[in-house]
Amino acid sequence: MYFDELDLNDNVLDALYDMQFDTCTPVQENCIPEILKGRDVLGVAQTGTGKTAAYLLPILSKLDDGNYPKDAINCVIMSPTRELAQQIDQAMQGFGYYLNGVSSVAVYGGNDGNRYDQELKSLQLGADVVIATPGRFISHMSLGNVDMSKVSFFVLDEADRMLDMGFSDDIMKIASKLPKTCQTIMFSATMPPKIEELAKTLLKDPVEIKLAVSKPAEKIQQKGYVCYETQKLGIIKDIFKKDDMKRVIIFCGSKLKVKQVNGALQKKNINCGEMHSDLDQAQRDDIMFKFKSGQLDVLVATDIVARGIDIDDISMVINYDVPHDAEDYVHRIGRTARADRDGIAITLISDNDMFYFQQIEKFLDKEVEKVTLPEDLGEGPAYIPAGKPKKSGNAKQRRRKDRDQTAHKRKPKNTDRPKTATSEEKRTSTDKPRQERPSDNRPAQRKHNSNHNANRSQQNPEQQDGVQNANRGRNRNRNRKNYAHNVDENSIGNKKQNDKNSMPAQEGQAKNAQRNGGNNRKRHNNKPRVESSRIAPQAVNSPKSSNAESGIKKFFKRILGFKK
């Protein structure tokens, strides 16, 4: 269907003609007539199908026709990210080029004070279309900068993404301030249960339009490299060697990985830039401008640019890390092959990400082509597609097979280390002469006992009884001797204890005094004893104490300046 077959405003059609937009996409063909009728719409379609124009064109057409209050906010469009809000605002400028009196403003965080003043002025004067992120719009609402009593259109773009980012409460708070007559339009790339619940809450008798839910475009050539984590950079370098690649986006799973990959590519003289949430708004705008204008060939980014960002002529998308959600995979590779163009999507599948890629293949209902690794990188891990039968054999055989497959990852054995003795060598070592094993006589003792028992087994019963009786006699005599010895030791010990207890106290005091005196003599002979501050009473009148006292008096007189 052509746009001029729809009931759009002539000024909007003129803008489309200048932009060389003639035919409608399926989502535009189904949504535009229903929005022009004033009905609530729930649109579910894959990314890159023209959903932005599907709601902007009918809204701008109705605003240009009139019958809407001036100097008031007539339309509020919610966007999950700043980049998508900027893109919607740019599309708004193009579609509304010939419209008179229809103004718009983009409201998002991360700007300086001048930008905030411009947002405040536009909101207070009443811009016709406000494109905002939920967090920044809630801030203006809490400060009383927004009057939503006359809003006629409320649009949720990438609604599933906003819910994933935790904006559910903010959306409900904003929706609670809308008038009951407001027309609500919701677009989403997926249809999870939480989107259905939100639609039941916000939409009134909506028209549901579902087209190719969460399926990538057929013109995307999907490939995968099964590799180890350390081989990923080598694969990317090999891809860039084969072709002079431009207009490439590399998606990484974290900000840290983006910085590492971007730095490694810059060392290889690849013209690339990084895009993640650690950059301030000015840096993000500068990177996006350079990439869109062709100043950068490669953009290394997180999922911040995975949804809603319309960049022309993306020839290849590389998933450096496999996304853990199959829908995120669809959104990533949807950056290429847009507007009936061809594109390539390459995913680097490490041994830790095989499970997630198997879930993606299950979601796509097909197996993605696996490409062999470059020869200089060696072999990668074995890939087992989802749905294949389990490994055959018992557990021991499977462990041995897995050990053989990962043998190249283990460190080589240290052949210089001395080998430990085997069980056979240990058995033969007991036959060595006794003098070579002075610390262990137990093997020889066990051998002697075994020989002794063997001799006993060869005796007749009468001889065995005689031997047993003789042994009993020896044991009886040995026990008697031990008993007598113990009795003698106990009697001697008791006698010594009694003698000690019966010692006169005076004799014990004399021995203690003699012992102390000897110790004192030894101490005085070796080193002069230092007088402590606690002086015994009997030592006050001793000649040594008097000499010490006179020495101290002389010392203080000398210090204080007294004459001798």
Residue 31 domain flag: yes
The angle subtended at Cα 480 by Cα 479 and Cα 485, nearest 5°, is 100
Residue 529 domain flag: no
Q: Do residues 238 and 161 both lie within one domain? A: no
Q: Do residues 37 and 120 both lie within one domain? A: yes
Residue 77 domain flag: yes
Q: Do residues 285 and 263 both lie within one domain? A: yes
Q: Do residues 206 and 78 both lie within one domain? A: yes
Q: Do residues 162 and 234 both lie within one domain? A: no
Residue 494 domain flag: no
Residue 498 domain flag: no
Domain span holding position 171: 3-211
Is residue 234 scored above 50 in pLDDT? yes
Q: What is the value of pTM for the model shown?
A: 0.58
Q: Do residues 203 and 259 both lie within one domain? A: no
Q: Count of domains in the chain?
A: 2
By the 8 A CB rule, do 174 and 137 touch? yes
What contacts 186, CB < 8 A, 6 or more positions away?
A: 40, 41, 42, 43, 155, 156, 159, 195, 198, 199, 202, 203, 206
Of 200-209, 317-326, 456-465, the poorest mean pLDDT is in 456-465
Q: Do residues 143 and 115 both lie within one domain? A: yes
51: nearest Cα among 187, 190, 210: 187
Residue 16 identity (one-letter amino acid)? L
Domain final residue pick, 156, 191, 211: 211
Of 19-33, 35-49, 167-181, the poorest mean pLDDT is in 35-49
Is residue 558 scored above 90 in pLDDT? no
Q: Do residues 206 and 254 both lie within one domain? A: no
Residue 462 domain flag: no
Q: Do residues 129 and 276 both lie within one domain? A: no
Domain final residue pick, 345, 361, 391: 391
Q: Do residues 17 and 77 both lie within one domain? A: yes
Mean pLDDT of 354-358: 93
Q: Is the dihedral of CA 194, 187, 218, 310 positive or negative?
A: negative
Question: From CA 171, how far away is CA 76, in angstroms rounded?
Answer: 12
Is residue 527 scored above 90 in pLDDT? no
What does the pLDDT look like over 292-318, one tens digit per residue? 888 999 999 998 887 767 777 888 999
Q: What is the pLDDT, as a whole number, of residue 143?
A: 92
What contacts 46, CB < 8 A, 6 or more positions away?
A: 189, 211, 212, 213, 214, 215, 216, 217, 330, 334
CA 92 from centre of chain? 39
Q: Do residues 123 and 174 both lie within one domain? A: yes
Residue 366 domain flag: yes
Which CATH number does the domain housing residue 334 bear?
3.40.50.300
Q: Do residues 162 and 202 both lie within one domain? A: yes
Domain final residue pick, 362, 391, 420: 391
Residue 527 or residue 412, greater confidence: 412
Residue 259 domain flag: yes
